[in-house]
Amino acid sequence: MSNYTRRDLLKTLGAATVAAATPASALWTNMAHAADAKYQVTPEKGAKLRVLRWKRFVQGDEDLWNANTKKFTEKTGIEVRVDNEGWEDVRPKAAVAANVGSGPDIIVGWFDDPHQYPDKLHDLTPLANYLGAKYGGWYDICKRYGTRDNKWIALPLGIVGNLLVYRESHVKAAGFDGVPKDLDGFLKLCKGMKAKGTPAGLALGHAVGDGNDWVHWLLWAHGGKMVDEKGNVVINSPETVAALDYIRELYPTFVPGTLSWQDPHNNAAFLAGQCSMTNNGISIYYAAKNSTDPKLKEMAADIGHAHFPIGPVGKTTEFMQITQAMLFKYSKFPNAAKEYLRFMWEQEQFNPWLEASIGYVSQPLKAYEKNPVWTVDPKHTPFRDVAQGLMDNGHAYKLGAASAGVMADYILIDMMAEAASGQQTSKAAAERAQKRAERYYKI
Amino acid sequence: MALHKPEPSNDAGGDMNYLVSMPRKVATIYLPTTVFLIVLLFPFYWMTITAFKPNEELLSQDGNPFWVQSPTLAHIKKLLFDTSYPEWLWNTVLVSVSATFLSLVCSVLAAYAIERLRFRSSRFIGMGIFLAYLVPPSILFIPLATMIYKLELFDTRLALILTYPTFLIPFCTWLLMGYFKSIPFELEECALIDGASRLQILTKIILPLAVPGMISAGIFAFTLSWNEFIYALTFISSSEMKTVPVGVITELIEGDVYHWGALMAGALLGSLPVAILYSFFVEYYVSGMTGAVKE
């Protein structure tokens, strides 16, 4: 579990200031040669690999991934075929591959996928240790998702940042100079924006990314959690009720319709000018920036990104999508696959790929914080630090089938939506969530 | 007690004329039909206008959302030339036609055997086939995936052509059993007396009479194959092997950015073949569903 406190934030800001004052090339040289980590595997002769990954978020991501793969083939002679699937559809395919014992050698999946079938995956500990030593170490959240029983069962590729996206002028008009850092201030901002006719809107429908991300933050910010350290379901708690009471006050400030919003709805509503603050990746900003419509271009200049406020627990409690590569034991060429992963995660390949992903994906290894993509446009910069304060969806117990089941069943989002809409009292919504979650954690 | 006095009639229609008075017609026929048509056709209308709306108009709050201000073919162009849509369409046609044909052949033989051969436990087998239809594909796809991998059919069209009949055959068999049951047995008895074999009876007597039933079963099978998603998603990985329902979702959704125009164009073009098929065979289809040969 990560404990990213205000103190850590100050340290990071200090480090970032030093980094900003130092020439980037010098930092790169220092970083690359600081660790004399070694890792070597001998790929099997005649190896051929098949990789399944999620479909691009931006064209550059896919282009660079394929270019790096081609480079790998040219260098090693190992043929690699990369297939793509919609990001939500990779998960069932990975589950089928794990269960039937056949399929792509490497699958780039999501969240706690590796923890659902850890015995079907190759141990990637030597490779992860090598990369960690060479590139400044893995973020805590990456260790949490990538390891099980002190073994690396997946190689984190990155985090799809999800921050508050807002119209700077509308926030200012509501009387605030940016998004407040505390929950009370955030509520006041939303009320102020509503009063000015420029409301916020955060998804309360079954939105896998946007919905899950912000409701987890809200619950954890109040000190609530789904399970305790022993795996007991404890969602029906005073802290949860406090979070639900908060959302009951927050929800009336939203633009109508958020109860049915899924992942694309807030993008459309924001770009259409229906709402002036939501939570999202960098995609809204890019859609506005790259549009040929002058109104949207104007909007892009007015877009700001901010981290979620900190609640009574006194530390960042954000939750975002993590993506990681899994190497399956059924692979006939595990060494070739490991070599492919090493190659793709090395700075010569990873940095251009990260840059081409224009901020959609944030790095899993600390050294890549220095990638120019984070400073080329100041609106990108908040996405650089998303991995630092993240928590995982299994909090505070281990990740596995139960944590995946609870999230796939949208228990948390439903609880928040029921309380927000007034369909249930805060207490009743928490009780219902408790009963639903217990079914998963009983197994 | 006052007696009800019949309303005077204006024409030779007599006492039944009240049934066709205009207000009643409007209330009982035109209004419900109009409501039904609107509910049924609105999604197609929305799909069509979205396919021709430029992106700016899709997001715009100005103007009439139910009409296209400046139509564009950009989404159709993107769909046809920037994605593998033509290949997906070809795959979908190939898979649907093959799976439908295969299923119909099996179903005709199964339904005829169960209805006419009168072997022991034929009723139970008929019931068993129907129950097999009730097993949802979301449960079946994991064992089927194991078989597909073992047979080394993964990522081939054959994987779909051979798995779709698992849900098509039970339905078609069940539908054709009902149809065969309504064909008079005397016709077969006459043929038997004339020395026809079972196969001759099936091909020369029963099948020509059962054409409407087979068309119904065929259309159903074709539509189910055309729209199938979960097997196509699980058993196919390569872009060039994908079918339309899976292909459009993979290519036209980038994270949380949905290319609505191209998605709707894909759905529109994808639904046309099914609509055309229905329009050609609608009469057979209706008679296939409502009964068979009248004695």
Answer for the pair A396, A1: CB distance below 8 angstroms, yes or no: yes
Residues B160 and B262 in one domain: yes
- What is the count of structural domains for chain B? 2
Mean model confidence pLDDT for chain B? 86
Report whether pLDDT(B47) > 80.
Answer: yes
The CATH classification of domain A39-161+320-374, taken from the options 3.90.1150.10, 3.40.190.10, 3.40.50.2300, 3.40.50.300 = 3.40.190.10
Residues B68 and B92 in one domain: no
Least confident of A400-409, A419-428, B25-34: B25-34
Asked if the C-beta of A57 comes within 8 angstroms of chain B's C-beta atoms, the answer is yes
More confident residue, A6 or B78: B78
Whether A100 and B142 lie within 8 Å, measured CB to CB: yes
Residues B209 and B119 in one domain: yes
Least confident of A1-10, A77-86, A249-258, A292-301: A1-10
Asked if the C-beta of A66 comes within 8 angstroms of chain B's C-beta atoms, the answer is no
Average pLDDT for residues A83-112, to the nearest whole number?
91
CA nearest to B252, candidates B88, B91, B141, B137: B88
Q: Which residues contact A283 (CB under 8 A, 6 or more apart)?
A: A57, A267, A360, B255, B256, B257
- Domain around B36: 17-72
Give chain A's end-to-end CA distance (angstroms, integer).
23
d(CA B168, CA B106): 10
Give chain B's end-to-end CA distance (angstroms, integer).
49
Report whether pLDDT(A71) > 90.
Answer: yes
**Residue B2 placed within a domain:** no
Residues B51 and B146 in one domain: no
Residues B270 and B167 in one domain: yes
- Residues in B closer than 8 angstroms to A84, CB to CB, are 239, 250
State the pLDDT at residue B130.
81
Answer for the pair A336, A79: CB distance below 8 angstroms, yes or no: no
Beta bridge partners of A156: A324
**Residue B1 placed within a domain:** no
Whether A160 and B255 lie within 8 Å, measured CB to CB: yes
d(CA A202, CA A320): 15
Whether B149 and A101 lie within 8 Å, measured CB to CB: yes
Whether B256 and A58 lie within 8 Å, measured CB to CB: no
d(CA A56, CA A87): 8
pLDDT tens profile B206-216: 899 888 889 88
Residue that finishes a domain, picked among B72, B90, B105: B72
- Where exactly are the structural domains of chain A? 39-161+320-374, 163-318+409-441
pLDDT tens profile A277-323: 999 999 999 989 988 888 899 999 999 999 999 999 999 999 999 99
Asked if the C-beta of A51 comes within 8 angstroms of chain B's C-beta atoms, the answer is no
d(CA A44, CA A266): 48
Residues B181 and B44 in one domain: no
d(CA A284, CA A263): 12
- Residues in A closer than 8 angstroms to B246, CB to CB, are 89
Same CATH topology for A39-161+320-374 and A163-318+409-441: the answer is: yes
Nearest-by-Cβ selection for B149 from A52, A100, A273: A100
Average pLDDT for residues B66-93, to the nearest whole number?
93
Region of residue B9 (phi > 0: left; psi between -120 and 50: alpha; otherwise: beta):
beta
Residues B158 and B252 in one domain: yes
**Residue B174 placed within a domain:** yes
Residues B89 and B32 in one domain: no
Closest CA–CA distance from residue B141 to any residue of chain A (Å): 9
Residues B25 and B84 in one domain: no
Q: Which residues contact B260 (CB under 8 A, 6 or more apart)?
A: B50, B58
CATH no. for A163-318+409-441: 3.40.190.10
- pLDDT band for position A29 (50/70/90)? very low
Asked if the C-beta of A63 comes within 8 angstroms of chain B's C-beta atoms, the answer is no
Q: Considering only residues 345 to 364 of chain A, which have any Cβ-Cβ distance to chain B shorter than 8 Å?
A: 360
pTM of the model: 0.83
Q: Which residues contact A1 (CB under 8 A, 6 or more apart)?
A: A140, A144, A391, A392, A395, A396
State the pLDDT at residue A127.
97
Nearest-by-Cβ selection for A56 from B238, B239, B254: B254
Task: Give 3-state DSSP helix, strand, coil % of chain A, rounded to 5.
Answer: 50, 15, 35
